Amino acid sequence: METPRLTKGFLLVIFAAVLFGTTGTSQALAPAGISSTTIGSLRLIIGGPALLLMALIFGNVRLSTFRPPIIPTLVAASGIVMFQLCFFEAVARTGVALGTIVAICMAPVISGLLGAVFQKERLTRTWFIASFLAISGCVLLSVAGSEVQVDTTGIFLAFGAGFGYAVSLVGSKAVVADHSPILGIAVILSVGAVMVLPRLLLFEDLSPVMTAHGMTVVLYLGLVATAAAYLLLAKGLSVVPVSMTALLMLVEPLTGCFLGVLLLGEVFTPITGIGALLIFSGLLVISFFKEKPAPVAPLVTHHKKSRFRNKR
């Protein structure tokens, strides 16, 4: 029967979202002295090749036959790099709960705008409503003032992380089209790893990483919260509809929020809570209220788009 397979797919996607949602907390628990750029760079350097190896072992794919388009691959990898570097600095400034909500929930809104500009996709009424809610939440957080202890620079960095994530989504469409999504995203992450490697080796202090504590954190981020999470997500997507996956992935910002509050002692004041709720509501609107596309020729249907359209 299909029901057990679908249930298993739901659990795989939810588990992947939970793993993604632990990244900010993992950084917060890292030893003192490890910079956010080091954390973000090492996540790519470890996670990209590890995911590529997992794709070759478990994904039944052949790297020799994979020919990704160069420009979209570089665009997607650049977006991934921007997300990593901005996200970890953002959560260091704003806290895990708030930084995760702003970064992850703004990404679908920004990706809709980029899709309209570069891929001529139609902006729907749902997108405008969701954007209004999300942007209102960001504005509220940015102008909240010192009374609520909100770091404005951190909010803009979280917005930048969402922008980088959205850029990676737009670029990845062409990379994974007609190919294994897990192999496509593995190649993108690996290219991103090559981009950040020179800076990491030349300008970052790696001595705090060379400890049991530091190695545990970066290995967890690379192997578990990146490579394993993407592998679970890809397997879940093989049976779970993309529209339903968008809803299940709401577990990611929820996980980041709960871990920040429960484990790190972060506090939401009424103003920050309202701002975060507005941003999260925007993502809910996009996920729940799908508008039907405009009528097209009778024999033309919407072909499947990239399975990673709404994912990291």
Which tens digits make up the pLDDT trace of 212-259? 999 999 999 999 999 999 888 878 877 777 556 666 777 888 888 888
Residue 141 burial (C-beta neighbours within 10 Å; 0-12, 13-18, 19+): buried
Amino acid 310: pLDDT = 46
Q: What distance in Å separates the CA atoms of residue 58 and residue 143, rounded to the nearest whole number?
A: 48
For residue 47, pLDDT beyond 80: yes
Q: What distance in Å separates the CA atoms of residue 17 and residue 98, rounded to the nearest whole number?
A: 17
Q: Which amino acid is at 1?
A: M
Q: What distance in Å separates the CA atoms of residue 1 and residue 115, rounded to the nearest whole number?
A: 37
When pLDDT is averaged across residues 22-49 and rounded to a whole number, the result is 93
Q: Which residue from 72, 127, 136, 109 is spatially nearest to 310, judged by alpha carbons?
A: 109
Amino acid 173: pLDDT = 79
Q: What percent of the chain has pLDDT over 70?
A: 84
At 135-152, the pLDDT tens digits run 888 777 766 544 445 688
Amino acid 148: pLDDT = 47
For residue 77, pLDDT beyond 80: yes
Amino acid 87: pLDDT = 94
When pLDDT is averaged across residues 33-45 and rounded to a whole number, the result is 93
Q: Which residue from 194, 172, 191, 192 is spatially nearest to 182, judged by alpha carbons?
A: 172
**Is 249 in a helix, a strand, or coil?**
coil
Cβ burial 1-25 (10 Å sphere, 16+ → b, else e): eeeeeeeebbebbbbbbbbbbbbbb
More confident residue, 295 or 266: 266
Cβ burial 106-126 (10 Å sphere, 16+ → b, else e): bbbbbbbbbbeeeeebeebeb
Is residue 291 very low, low, confident or very high in pLDDT (cuts 50, 70, 90)?
Answer: low
Amino acid 245: pLDDT = 67
Q: Which amino acid is at 211?
A: T
Amino acid 41: pLDDT = 95
More confident residue, 191 or 305: 191
Q: What distance in Å separates the CA atoms of residue 8 and residue 236, rounded to the nearest whole number?
A: 7
Q: What distance in Å separates the CA atoms of residue 45 and residue 226, rounded to the nearest whole number?
A: 11
At 246-265, the pLDDT tens digits run 667 778 888 888 888 888 88
Q: Which residue from 78, 41, 40, 54 is spatially nearest to 183, judged by alpha carbons?
A: 54
Q: What percent of the chain has pLDDT over 90?
A: 32
More confident residue, 163 or 64: 163
Amino acid 161: pLDDT = 93
- Mean pLDDT (the chain) is 81
Give the number of other CB atoms < 10 A from CB of residue 239.
16
Amino acid 39: pLDDT = 95
The phi and psi torsions of 289 (rounded to 5 degrees) equal: -110, 85
For residue 180, pLDDT beyond 80: no
| Contact assessment for residue 42 and residue 209, using Cβ atoms and an 8 Å cutoff | yes
- The least confident of 24-33, 55-64, 167-176, 191-200 is 55-64
Q: Indicate whether this model's pTM tops 0.85.
A: no
Q: What distance in Å separates the CA atoms of residue 82 and residue 3, rounded to the nearest whole number?
A: 39
- Sign of the torsion formed by the C-alpha atoms of 154, 150, 100 and 279: negative
DSSP 308: T
Amino acid 300: pLDDT = 39
The phi and psi torsions of 52 (rounded to 5 degrees) equal: -60, -45
For residue 60, pLDDT beyond 80: no
